Structure 1
Amino acid sequence: MQLSLHYLIREPKVKSDKNPLLLLLHGYGSNEQDLFSFEEALPDNCYVVSARAPFDLQYGSYAWYAINFD
């Protein structure tokens, strides 16, 4: 799998031709590790991909788009 974003992936325990994909998208100021921390609680038959947003807010925080707090 090739993505232009940093990501974490958990493959299904039993692979088939129709394993579902669960894409985890964190909120503003978080990162890909936040939601991935509970991947063990998710269904075993899913591919689980947790993507990191592209905008670097520093200190390990990221956002999917720029927000101006004016």
Structure 2
Amino acid sequence: MEPDGGDCAIADNEIIEGRIIHGIKIFKEHLGCSLHEALGAFTARYDVLRCERPGDFSKDHATYWENFYS
């Protein structure tokens, strides 16, 4: 489940700040979807933000996902 255009920015701050669990929780609650679907929505939005706003991230891609296992 991917968020529609109006929903896509709901967790941008969490994504940029590296608050992965909290960001996934926001997607899950807002979209009313499963944890797996929320993770998919989070990573899809992460990819968009990495392309559109790379300078907003303080960690590189590899460091961002360190110690996160799904």
Length-normalised TM-score, structure 2: 0.30
Higher helix share: 2
**Structure with greater contact order relative to length (CA < 8 Å, sep ≥ 6):** 1
Larger radius of gyration: 1
